[in-house]
Structures are given as structure tokens and as C-alpha cells.
Amino acid sequence: MGENTNADPVTAAQQIASGYATEGLALELGTVLVDGAVDPSAKVRIPFATLNRHGLVAGATGTGKTKTLQCLAGQLSDAGVPVLLADVKGDLSGMARPGEDGPKIRSRAEDTGDDWTPTAYPVEFLSLGAPSAAVPIRATLTQFGPILLSKVLDLNDTQESTLGLIFHWADQQQLPLLDTKDLRAVIQHLTSDEGKADLKGIGGVSPATAGVILRALVNLEAQGGDHFFGEPEFDPADLIRQVDGKGVVSLLELADQAANPKLFSTFLMWLLAELYEELPEAGDLDKPKLVFFFDEAHLLFTDASKAFLERIEQTVKLIRSKGVGVFFCTQLPTDVPNAVLSQLGARIQHALRAFTPEDQKALARTVKTYPTSKVYDLEEALTSLGTGEAIVTVLSERGAPTPVAWARMRAPRSLMAAIGEPAVTEAAKASPLYGRYGETVDRESAYEKLTAKIATPPPPEAVPVDAPPPPPQAPRRREKEEPGMVAEVLGSPVVKSFLRSAASALGREITRGLFGTRRR
């Protein structure tokens, strides 16, 4: 069973549980298990006040990781804390319904000392990508920014630099990049003879690099990206809401399973960056304003540049002062870089597989991320955990790591099954967010401006030699030299009208935050 102690199991369990004692409100994870015996009075918990020190939930498929997330989200909602959960497969939709009692639930409740009661939670069903039963959410490319888009498009450093230049030019010209066709139009303009002159003095866009970016855009559109980028753009403040005193649980699904999973993970990072930029400083709170479960975390870090990883590290470090807790969810702790992993105060590790040499190396590295245990042989324990059990260590209220606990986790109080697409559709249509985000808006933007045909005056009619001279006209203002395409576009009444209406939001020139996202 992975234990390495001669102490009485009950005594050892109580000693471990004493490290999890807390005076304030806490998330109840479960109870300590030693030598195969569980002690319902030996509680394993996370103080709410330390949730902004972030955490990690890891484990192989089928080990109970999703149920742990469901249990944590339910308790947070009960405490009035809003939650964002990535629900790629729709498995968590049951949180909108009370759980179903049964022998297994009762046995788990008895083991964990839980007065289990079936409970439903206020759930918002959100969808990223193609149309689905949930409320569709979007971001404009201008808002998303070049750094995160480069990650989605899998661009190298040179191509990312070029994309940054393209965004910079569009920002300066106040040409909104709302969707992928807008960016395509800007790239095509800047690689034309006329466009090259617009970039004189600040660099240029080579046809080869432009071709790579354009091909990547086409691939993104084929994977559903064209449904995501556009308006109305999602306001992350809509994640921080309560209903009847309970925190709203926002479930974000990936509507099209064939869509780009890298877009999904990068969009989560965009939401986090937006929250960091927009929320005021909060200091130390009794409980967080929002807890953000960052699923498929390995997709964010894979092949990420050093600069990109540094931005993630900085955002995670700084957002705690805004009252936001972040839990990275993945299969292996080694999926998360050490610089980020070192900032995660809570570790909930479900069972690991060790079938291959690579698995065994990952297991050994995982053991090293935990405090030394006198009770458990961690390497053996991590491969012996049952479904719904985890190796846990968290930060105590004093800020010190708690003893490592082999915990039998509590069961969720909501339904542990999907509720079906018709129920999700009904809930989404009834949501106050549906009226704001339900329908796509395609207003005039960079594509329309740069592709608008400049009206050409008709050729003058032939005038007979003996025809009387035309009647005198009022003197006309002297025309300036014919402007270039961009100057003509930006000088048109339609564009001027748009710029006046957008000035309060965008300002004279767009400023960008840590991740290159647009600052309002």
C-alpha cells in the first residue's frame, strides 16, 4: 500500500491531519488513509485564505481527477466563490443537477466524514469555437494580441516578431482586427507595393514570413478558429458573479472536438491575462474572488518560448494579489515548468502509471516535488492509489507545507454524469449572457476598409466644339494629391465615424499588457 511506518495507523493519521487544522473556512478534500485504513476524523483540507497561492490537480485518465474538480468547484460555489472550469467533453454539466444517492455514495461519505446532501449549483454553459448548445464566447484579434495568437499559430520567434509588427501597424492606424479575414487583409496590404511604403522606417513584412502566417491562419480557420475570433467580445468580468449567494460555475467546453486544442489552452491564458489587467488589487482575502481551473495545461507549455514561459510565470505570480486562485490540471506534474510549479501551493496528485521508462522517470521526478514523508513510500504510493484517492500537500494558514497525506477524496454532491444537450441548450437560452453573446456581430473593420473600392469618377462626356460654355460654378477647394489606399480609407466619412465612436474605448493608439492583450 506504499506505507513505510511502524506507527499505529490511527495515530499516524491524526498526526498528519493535525497539519491540516485550520481556524478559518476551508475546502474539505477528504480524510487520511494509512495502511489501508481510513480515519473519518482525520481531515485533509485547504484553507480558503491560501487558495490564491494556486494549486495543481494531476493524474492519469480514469483516476478520479474530474470528480475531484467537481467536488472542489461545488464547495467553492457553496462558499460564494465563482469558478471557471474547462469542460472539454461535457462531463461536468451534471453540476447543474443534484447528485443521486446510492450505496457507493454513502460508503464514500462515511469514509470521509461527509454529511453528503444532493446539491445543484448555478451553472453557466459557455462554448469556445463552433456553434453549440452553450453560449458562444469570442474575442477579437485586436483584443487577443500577437503574442497569444503566435502561440496558437505555432509561429517561431521571427514570425512572432513579424506578427507583432503587423498588429502594431494596425493599432497605430486604428484598423480593428476583429476576425481572421481582417488580419489576412492587413497582411496582404502590407506585402503590396503600396503597403511596403506604410512600414517604411519601422521594418517590413517579407513575403515568405507573410505566407507562413497566412497558411497558419487558413489552418486555424479550418479548425474552427474563425467561429471564435469576432464580436461581441467576451468580458471576463462576467465570470465573477453570484446567484442566491452561490458562486456561479462557468463551464467552458470546446464545441468542435476537432478544433485546435492549443487554441483552447491559449484562450484560458488570455482570460487569465485579462483578469490580471482588469481586476483591482485585493491584498489578502479570507476567500478568493474567483478560482480558475486551467485544464489541458500541458498544451500551454509545450514548445513555448522562454519569453512566453516567463510571462506565464509572472502572471501567475502577480494575479494572486488580485484575489484569483489558479489550479493547473494535467496528467503529470512534470508537464508544468519548474518556475510555475514552484508557485503552486496545493498539490492533489491522483494515481500515476509507470509502464514505460519515460513513465518511471516522470514518477521519480514527481516524488521529488513533495516534502519528505516518514509515513509513506511515495514512489510506491503514487502507483497504488485507488480511484478517488490522491497524494496531497497544501499550504497551511501559516504558509508552511502540510505533511503529505494519502487522502480518500470526498464525493461530489452534484450529478456525476452529463445532463444532455437539450438541457444545456435550455439553460444557455435562459442565461442573461445569451442576449449579450448569443449572436455574432460583423461590423465594418479592417477587411472592409482595406478592400473597399475607391469610387472612380466616370470619364467626361464628349463636348461639341460649338457647344456653349458650361455655367459658372462656385470655386472648388484645391484638391490635394491623390492619397494612398490607407490614407483614403482612413479619411473616408465611414471610417471617421467609426474612429469617433471607438475613441473612448481604443484611444489614439492601442496599449497592450503583459501578454500583448489590448488594454481598454
Closest CA to 27 of 86, 82, 77: 77
Q: What integer pLDDT is reported at residue 107 of this predicted model?
A: 96
Give SS3 for 125: strand
Q: pTM value?
A: 0.84
Q: What integer pLDDT is reported at residue 255 of this predicted model?
A: 60
Domain assignment present for residue 490? The answer is no
Q: What is the pLDDT of residues 261-295, one digit of tens each?
A: 778 888 888 999 999 988 999 988 999 999 999 87
Domain assignment present for residue 434? The answer is no
Averaged over 391-416, what is the pLDDT?
A: 95
Mean predicted lDDT score pLDDT of the chain: 84
Q: Which three cell numbers stand for residue 466?
A: 460649338
Domain assignment present for residue 438? The answer is no
Domain assignment present for residue 192? The answer is no
Q: What integer pLDDT is reported at residue 88 of this predicted model?
A: 72
Return the minimum-mean-pLDDT range out of 50-54, 117-121, 356-360, 510-514: 510-514
**Containing H/E element for 405?**
strand 405-409
Q: What integer pLDDT is reported at residue 7 of this predicted model?
A: 64
Q: What is the pLDDT of residues 4-20, one digit of tens each?
A: 555 688 899 999 999 99
Q: What integer pLDDT is reported at residue 173 of this predicted model?
A: 87
Distance of alpha carbon 428 from alpha carbon 425, whole angstroms: 5
Q: What integer pLDDT is reported at residue 186 of this predicted model?
A: 93
Of the segments 147-151, 174-178, 196-200, 403-407, which one has the largest average pLDDT value?
A: 403-407
Q: What is the pLDDT of residues 19-75, one digit of tens each?
A: 999 988 999 999 999 999 999 999 999 999 999 999 999 998 889 999 999 999 999
Asked if residues 247 and 82 have their Cβ atoms less than 8 Å apart, the reply is yes
Domain assignment present for residue 198? The answer is no
Distance of alpha carbon 272 from alpha carbon 289, whole angstroms: 13
The HSE-up count of residue 472 (CA atoms within 13 Å, CB side) is 2
Domain assignment present for residue 360? The answer is yes
**Residue 444 pLDDT exceeds 90:** no
What are φ and ψ of residue 247, in 5° steps? -70, 140
> Which region holds residue 197: left if phi is over 0, alpha if psi is between -120 and 50, else beta?
alpha
**Residue 490 pLDDT exceeds 70:** no
Asked if residues 333 and 378 have their Cβ atoms less than 8 Å apart, the reply is no
**Containing H/E element for 512?**
strand 511-512
Q: What integer pLDDT is reported at residue 487 of this predicted model?
A: 41
CB count within 10 Å of CB 365 equals 13
Averaged over 329-335, what is the pLDDT?
A: 88
Q: Which domain holds residue 306?
A: 9-138+231-419
**Residue 298 pLDDT exceeds 70:** yes
Domain assignment present for residue 156? The answer is no
CATH number at residue 88: 3.40.50.300
Local confidence band at 319 (pLDDT 50, 70, 90 cut-offs): very high
Q: What integer pLDDT is reported at residue 476 of this predicted model?
A: 41
Q: What integer pLDDT is reported at residue 501 of this predicted model?
A: 39
Count of domains for the chain: 1
Higher pLDDT, 136 or 510: 136
Q: What integer pLDDT is reported at residue 520 of this predicted model?
A: 54
What are the start-end ranges of the E strands in 5-74? Answer: 26-34, 37-47, 55-58
Q: What integer pLDDT is reported at residue 202 of this predicted model?
A: 66
Domain assignment present for residue 406? The answer is yes
**Residue 434 pLDDT exceeds 80:** yes
Averaged over 194-198, what is the pLDDT?
A: 78
User: Could you give the C-alpha distances from 164 to 58, 111, 233, 306, in angstroms and in order?
Assistant: 35, 55, 21, 17
**Residue 481 pLDDT exceeds 50:** no
**Residue 131 pLDDT exceeds 80:** no
